[in-house]
Structure 1
Amino acid sequence: MGSGKGLLTVGLLCMLGRCFSECSPGFNSEGNKCNDVNECEEFPEPCGKYTRCFNTEGSYHCQCQPGFTNIKGKVNFTGIDGQCQDDNECTDYANICGHGGNCTNLIGRYKCTCDFGYTADNSSNGHCIDINECNEAEKKREDLCGGKGTCKNVNGSYWCKCPNGYTNYGNDRTPCSELDCDSFNVDSGPPPSLGGLADIVVMMRNSCLALSNPSVTGEVKADGEALLEKLFTAAVAILSPGHLDSGEDVSGLLGTVENAIMLIGPQLKDSHTKMETTETDAEIAVQRGKTRPTGPIYLTNDYASLNTDWTTAAGMGSYPGFALAALLSYKNLEISVNRSFEELTGHEKDGMDPTFKVFSRVVSVVVSNPSTQNLSRPVNITLRHLQDTEESPVVSYICAYWSERGTWSTDGCYQQHSNATHTVCTCKHLSSFAVLMARYPMEHTFGLLVVTKIGLTISLLCLMLCILTFTFCRSIQGTRTTIHLHLCICLFVADLVFLAGISQTKPVGGCRFIAAMLHLFFLGVFTWMLLEGVQLYRMVVLVFNATIRPLYLFIIGYGTPLVIVIISGIIRPKGYGTDQHCWLSLEDGLIWSFFGPVCLIIILNVFFFIVTVWKLAQKFTSLNPDLSKLHKIKAFTVTAIAQMCILGLMWVFGAFLFEEGVVVAYIFTILNSLQGALVFIMHCLLSKQVREEYAHFLSCICPPQKKRYSDFSSTNPSSSQSQGSRSGQLTGESHI
């Protein structure tokens, strides 16, 4: 509207000038003189917006400002001839900002935004020109490509050319890092016993050489994920058979896998990579860029977690353009490293040295920081226990790492917190870690020692009475008595050795002999108990010839335990005797050479007793049962079952005697002392024949006072016959 009003005003003045003045249009009269009218100053915006007004003699003309064009295409015009509109330089002019620039149209002008690697020149619109990063870095005395790399400038960027022996892992803008391919050397690498590990070393060496010198023939460059999968597949082939023979084998495996992850990690495409096999579980995090990364790192799997930061992972030295952190858990390696505790000193408590056991998965932590032996700040590693436990005064948890010497050590690692399921370890260096359970010898209280000595003494006295009774009591001689006699002999020797030598751990040879004797005679107790079950079965099922020849009894009763002990001693000679007790080791499975046969014997005896009771029930319901004989067999069966229950229950607690607390030790000791008294009560005191023999024996030692006339009395024939009949009856019963 402003320009329209101006035009209207000019028109009216012209008309008035014609009416009242003799001056031409564009002039006004001042007296007798006509002067030019400056339309550009007299009238507001005579040309419209985005224009420039030029006064002329008697008139004026307009031109568009830079960045605008008249809609009618005229250069000079008036307000009537057209208006100015904005020019879109971004579409009207190709590549107006230059290579690497992005144009943005504005009213009357445009703006250039430069891509990465370009910068604006000194022009008003800031046209984009390439940055010569190599020259800029040289001016600032910066080293873009590392000490050995050569910087080459390209449009918008640069790339580093690495010499042989160096690589930038396929990222041309990262510094050249030296590759130590000699670390993957078969001759100086893994022990010769691990053939599969040598295959890993060869594979990684070929990959390293291909990175450092692409012209080298050998393994073609593979992407990081494929190479990582090959690594763990080869590791499974080594770990799946089970036990590694030596600490040297373990160290070779751990070191080779850690070096391989250091080589593969920078080649991974993703920032986070997880890979799990039957033997390993790994998570790898990688950060790339020109600037050193910062922020927290948290890696986790089912067995462990790592809590650190990128500053620690990258280190404070030269930055190679990437940072790496990896957490690797071995699912079954703890079986192979459950030894080599020689360097674990200073963990004594109350003057007692503990025994150690690996109580978590073995976990390796790998970072790109070259100074892993002296980190700027500690890292926290949370390890899950292999078993959930309760707090105990005889158990503590220790954070340890696998040293280069092939042993466990605790230098630079300490336990921050532990509960029933996890232990948090804080370490100032990185390696392969695990939680060790330190078990201290159970302190036997004075009361327990008294119960042990008194209980076993009573048991030994009762067993001695049983042995004398079964040996010299003629009226009860038979197969069952022979079985009971040798059962008591085995139990007597076992209890005597247990009382005298269970804690005599020095010398080692003597302790192993004591453990072997206990193994032999406790197995003998159960073997003779099995023979008793077999004899009861034969007595009920077989009508005639139910006895077993003594030679067969001795071969089975003593030969079977002896064979088991000999085989166990050949296979696991070091399993006899521990640091605290002269018994079978609980670490290497040797304990099952005792509990395995015991469980089998109990199962067989249960079978024989069930069949015996079933047959007895059938015989009791028959038409003409021999009730006296059946009642005796029934009593024999009840005592045999009670005997088996006491012995079996005792070894249920005996299985945990050296693993649990004082309560279990009390229960085991009480049951151990009861078994001798139980045998004496069931097989001697509850037997009428034995009681009569005792009475006869006592009468011989202390004869009763008789009346004088009894010396002259005659013997009653009927009485004699009765005694003879009873004697014959006893003789007949003794054969049962």
Structure 2
Amino acid sequence: MGTGKGLLIFGVLCLLENCVSDCPHGLSSRNRECVDEDECVEIPNACGKNTMCTNTYGSFLCQCLPGFKNIRGDVNFTGINGQCLDINECNKEPGICGPAMKCSNLIGSYKCTCQHGYTRDNSSVGCVDINECNVAENRSEDICGAKGTCKNVNGSYWCKCQEGYTNYGNERTPCSKLDCNAFNADIGPSQSLGGLADILSMMRNSCLALSNPTTASDGKADGEALLEKLLTATDAILAPDHLDSSEDVSVLLDTVENSIRVIGPQLKDKRTKIETNKTDAEIAVQRGKTPPTGPIHLNNENASLDTDWTTAAGTGSYPGFALAALLSYKNLESSVNRSFEELTGFEKEGVDPSFQIFSRVVSVVVSNPSTQNLSRRVNITLRHLDTEKSTEVRYICAYWTERGAWSTNGCWLDQEYSNITHSVCTCEHLSSFAVLMARYPMKHTFGLVLMTKIGLTISLLCLFLCILTFKFCRSIQGTRTTIHLHLCVCLFMADLIFLAGISQTKPVGGCRFVAAMIHFFFLGVFSWMLLEGVQLYRMVVLVFNATIRPLYLYLTGYGAPFVILIISAIIRPKGYGTDEHCWLSLNDGLIWSFFGPVCFIIILNIFFFIITVWKLAQKFTSLNPDLTKLHKIRAFTVTAVAQMCILGLMWVFGAFLFEEGPVVVAYIFTILNSLQGALVFIMHCLLSKQVREEYAHFLSCICTPQKKKYSDFSSTNPSSSQSQASRSGQITGESQI
């Protein structure tokens, strides 16, 4: 046991002697001797990347590979205090590649290539100039175009254009023909537009200078000033806010578009935006040997354009310059609110719509010469001049043709992205655009028209009977009967004019007169209805002298509507009569000259009727009520309230009749309008006992025309005299009421 323990201690001591060495760092103990360690082999990546490791006795050294340098600048270092980074030889030694060569840095090295316009010379290590003019001839290509002369220079070339041709300031692009004859003031009807000749002269000089660079100054610096002069001169032409003919509009639009194509190459900025009193323009330009790509978005307050540079530049020969412009005219819509004869195919159920310009006129100009057949469609968003929208209105995208008329061929409305304030037009060609509003006349079914004619005829007949009754029936004469008489007269005239002229929109003067008369007489109906409410109030509240003087009745019943009519006609004379109906316009607020007084009268009458019913209830509960008189006033109040409800409810639906709405609204209005005459006849005539007796007496005289057996004046029958006196007293009491 003791021997085994001793052997274990001896083994542990031997292990400790091998693991714990007295050798310095970098040396290891082998067979009790200190031997050098090769750290470059035993330690993976001892120096780091892009380095070279060298072993030394007891240590090692690190050095950067060629093309790299130590981050601290030391030549020899260790992995702890050093790191190798790439040396950019192109920056360290400018011109390291030699003339006409371009240096490209590589990791640990660099590369030399020839600059653009040079090539490697097999006989030397350097680069020599490429003669592009000769290369073009060898490839059977005319690098400068048919009217351009190519001249070689070191590393490049340039094209000199003949007079009448230009390369838009890019000397290494083919020469394109520049048509300056479009600005000839002697051609076309330019003399009819004051100031247009000055624009043509100015743009012709600029066009000739652009096509002859040797005589032009720094055209690019003058581009903005030239654009401002063009738009200022255009403002002067548009200052009267109206051009006389479609031909003048076409000449102006073409001149401005051609001018922008000439001014565009002279602009120094890629984006130019300018606004004047009558115009708003934004122009985007691109220059370069290769055609530009990418989207284009131009916008102003009234419109926006979405297209791309491929469409703007064209797919044919690229002249080194591309342009896209959006120009908005702020008052030209009044001059082109005509010429709709080419708009066809919009008939809706056999009814032709009326058209109206509903946006600013916008011109889109691009450098692409083939604008009539674009490779891609463009989107033009136009802001509406008004937010009016109804089921009887349709928006249309149209463009101005060379013939001076509006057309929709190749343009249509994008329903998905359009809304009540903006219309998005998608077009296959470019020109001047606008949104047209096609308004369709309200169309009523045959049944509705027939119902209107039959109902109003019956109503007019009943009102005529009411007028005769109130005028000649002596037993009911009084203030209230006078009110009913003139209420029926106003209602009769309003229905008669409504039936005969509500749809007669031509001539315009006649239509306005019809609308004014309907306005006046319907206001008269409600004015006399107000007087009836006042009369009932006075009958209940004022026990004595409850009548109203006829002068006051006429001043209120006819004077108030006449004053409202005169004021409305002075403020909004064009509001009487529309394209669809001879009634008040719904667009400028004139309709409230009718609905405002109507609402006021209904509210005031409701107040009078409430007071009347309250006072009646108090009188019925009094100690000695005059029941006969109170029952009559109560009956008068019931009929007056029913009459107000009928007329008021009719115009609740009438408020929506001349605007968009379901057909059921038109039917309800027609039924109420047709029944009001019959209901007035029933309530005020047939339900009145005295009127029925007068009718019976009148009919008996007609049906039994035999001679009377005795005279009323010679009769001495006491009972007959007593009956007649009793009846006379009854009539007198009714008249007082």
TM-score (norm 1): 0.65
Tell me the C-alpha RMSD between the 2 structures: 5.6
Instruction: Give matches, 1:15-26, under 5 Å.
Output: none
- Residues 390, 558 of structure 1: alpha-carbon distance in 2 compared, 3 angstrom cutoff: closer
Aligned-partner Cα distance in 1 for 2:192–2:637 = 62
1:448-487 alignment runs, 5 A limit: 448-477=448-477, 484-487=484-487
Q: Does 1:652 align with 2:650?
A: no
Provide the rounded CA distance (Å) in 1 between the counterparts of 2:331 and 2:499. 39
Which residue identity is paired with 2:677? Answer: G
Distance (Å, rounded) in 2 between the aligned partners of 1:621 and 1:214: 102
Cα 1:304–1:387, aligned 2, differ >3 Å: closer, same or farther?
Answer: same
Residues 560-591 of structure 1: per-residue CA shift (max 9 Å, x gap): 6997999899x769x9685xx6x3499xx698
User: For residue 290 of structure 1, what is the aligned residue in structure 2?
Assistant: 289
Per-residue deviation, 1:639 = 6.2
- Note the alpha carbon deviations across 1:68-122, whole angstroms, 9 max, x for none: xxxxxxxxxxxxxxxxxxx999799874645443346899997533333444433
Q: Name the residue aligned to 1:732.
A: 736
- Cα distance in 1 between the residues matched to 2:461 and 2:724: 38
In structure 2, which of residues 594, 600, 604 is the aligned counterpart of residue 598 of structure 1?
A: 594
Q: Give the AA of the match of 1:259.
A: N
Whether the 8 Å contact between 1:329 and 1:361 is mirrored in structure 2 is: yes
Match of 2:551 among 543, 548, 552: 548
CA separation in 1, counterparts of 2:160 and 2:112?
32
Question: What is the alpha-carbon distance in structure 2 between the residues aligned to residue 557 and residue 300 of structure 1?
Answer: 52
Pair 1:217–1:269, CA change in 2 (3 A): closer
Distance 1:676 1:276 in 2: 61
Asked whether the equivalents of residues 383 and 423 of structure 2 are also in contact (C-alpha less than 8 Å), the reply is yes
The answer as to whether partners of 2:132 and 2:156 remain within 8 angstroms in 1 is yes
Residues 238-249 of structure 1 mapped to structure 2, 5 A cutoff: 247-248=246-247
Mapped contact 2:568–2:593 kept (Cα < 8 A)? no
Aligned-partner Cα distance in 2 for 1:197–1:133: 45
The change in CA–CA distance for 1:286 and 1:726 in structure 2 (over 3 A counts) is same
Asked whether the 8 Å contact 2:144–2:159 carries over to 1, the reply is yes
Q: CA deviation at 1:286?
A: 3.3
Contact 1:288 1:321 (8 Å CA) reproduced: yes
1:660/1:604 CA distance change after superposition, 3 Å:
closer
User: After the TM superposition, which residues 34-433 of structure 1 pair with which residues of structure 2 at under 5 Å, given as runs?
Assistant: 95=95, 97-103=97-103, 111-122=111-122, 125-127=125-127, 129-161=128-160, 166-181=165-180, 183-184=182-183, 208=207, 211-212=210-211, 222=221, 247-248=246-247, 250-269=249-268, 271=270, 284-294=283-293, 308-328=307-327, 334=333, 337-348=336-347, 351-358=350-357, 362-376=361-375, 379=378, 398-413=396-411, 421=419, 427-433=427-433
Following TM superposition, by how much is the alpha carbon of 1:124 offset from its aligned partner in structure 2, in angstroms?
5.0
Equivalents in 1 of 2:726, 2:597: separation in Å?
44
C-alpha contact (below 8 Å) 1:479/1:550 kept by paired residues: no
Amino acid at match of 1:445: T
CA distance in 1, matches of 2:483, 2:221: 73
Q: Aligned with 2:399: secondary structure?
A: strand
Q: 1:420 to 1:611 in 2, by over 3 A?
A: same
Structure 2 gaps, min length 5:
1-51, 53-66, 68-86, 539-544, 705-709
State the Cα deviation string for residues 521-555 of structure 1 (Å, max 9, x = none). 31232342364267569867998964327886897
- Between the aligned partners of 1:107 and 1:712, the Cα distance in structure 2 is 146
Which residue identity is paired with 2:288?
Answer: G
Give 1:400's aligned amino acid: A
**1:339 match: secondary structure:** coil
- Structure 1 residue 267 displacement after superposition: 4.1
Kept after mapping to 2: 8 A contact 1:305/1:382: yes
* 3-state SS of paired residue (2:116): coil
Please state whether the residue corresponding to 1:548 is helix, strand or coil.
helix
How do 1:606-621 residues align onto structure 2 when only pairs under 5 Å count?
609=605
**Which residue identity lines up with residue 454 of structure 2 in the other structure?**
I
Instruction: For residues 407-438 of structure 1, give each alpha carbon's deviation from its aligned partner in whole angstroms, at most 9, with x where no partner exists.
Output: 21233445676687377655443212345454
Per-residue Cα deviation, 1:355-398 (whole angstroms, up to 9, x for no partner):
43445654433221212234456555566777889996x77665
Q: State TM-score, norm by structure 2.
A: 0.65
Looking at structure 2, the residues matched to 192 and 600 of structure 1 have their Cα atoms a distance apart, in angstroms, of 53
| Contact in 2 for aligned 1:286/1:324 (Cα 8 Å) | yes
Amino acid across the alignment from 2:734? L
Distance in 2 (CA, whole Å) between partners of 1:606 and 1:222 is 72
1:675 aligns with 2:673: no
Q: Distance in 2 between matches of 1:423 and 1:492?
A: 46
Q: Which amino acid aligns with 2:668?
A: I
Residues 401 and 501 (structure 1), Cα distance of their counterparts in 2 relative to 1, 3 Å cut: same
Counting only pairs closer than 5 Å after superposition, residues 522-533 of structure 1 correspond to structure 2 as 522-529=518-525, 531-532=527-528
Alignment CA distance shift 1:523-1:719 (3 Å): same
Q: Using the TM superposition, give the Cα deviation of residue 681 of structure 1 relative to its aligned residue in structure 2, in angstroms.
A: 4.5
SS at match of 1:654: coil
Over the matched positions of the two proteins, sequence identity in percent amounts to 59
Instruction: Indicate the larger mover: 545-554 or 153-162.
Output: 545-554
Matched AA of 1:726 = Q
Aligned 8 A contact 1:112 1:126 in 2:
no
Give 1:45's aligned residue: none
Task: Please say if residues 497 and 517 of structure 1, whose CA atoms lie closer than 8 Å, have aligned partners that are also in contact.
Answer: no
Partner of 1:723: 727
Within 2, Cα distance between the matches of 1:109 and 1:376? 48
Query: In the alignment, residue 286 of structure 1 is paired with which amino acid?
Result: V
Letter matched to residue 651 of structure 1: G
2: distance between equivalents of 1:220 and 1:105?
Answer: 40
When residues 398 and 551 of structure 1 are mapped into structure 2, their CA distance, relative to the original with a 3 A threshold, is closer
Q: Given the superposition, is the C-alpha separation of residues 496 and 391 from structure 1 closer, same or farther in structure 2, using an over 3 Å criterion?
A: closer
Separation in structure 1 between the aligned mates of residue 222 and residue 688 of structure 2, nearest angstrom: 84
Tell whether the 8 Å contact from 2:210 to 2:216 is kept in structure 1 after alignment.
Answer: no
Structure 2 counterpart SS, 1:653: coil
Spell out, residue by residue over 1:163-214, the C-alpha distance to the aligned partner (whole angstroms, 9 max, x if none). Answer: 6655544444444445445545677688778768778767756655664568
> Partner letter of residue 406 of structure 1?
G
Deviations 1:2-56 (A, max 9, x none): xxxxxxxxxxxxxxxxxxxxxxxxxxxxxxxxxxxxxxxxxxxxxxx9xxxxxxx
User: How many Å separate the matches in 1 of 2:187 and 2:636?
Assistant: 74
Distance verdict in 2 for CA 1:249–1:732, change over 3 Å:
farther
Note the C-alpha offset of 1:652: 0.6
Deviation at 1:321, TM superposition (A): 0.9
The amino acid of 2:452's aligned partner reads: T
CA contact (8 A) 1:527 1:556 kept: no
Kindly indicate whether the alpha-carbon contact (under 8 Å) linking 1:227 and 1:264 is maintained by their aligned counterparts in 2. yes
One-letter code of the match for 1:727? I
Structure 2 counterpart of 1:46:
none
| 1:60 equivalent in structure 2 | none
SS in 2 for 1:292: coil
Q: Indicate if the aligned counterparts of 2:516 and 2:565 stay in contact, CA closer than 8 A.
A: yes
What letter matches 2:524 in structure 1? W
Q: Distance in 2 between matches of 1:482 and 1:279?
A: 61
Structure-2 change in CA distance of 1:130 and 1:219 (3 Å) = closer
Alpha-carbon contact 1:224-1:267 (below 8 Å) kept = yes
- Deviation track 1:117-168 (CA, whole Å, cap 9, x = no partner) reads 44443355333x4444445445545444444455455444444455665554
Corresponding residue of 1:714? 718
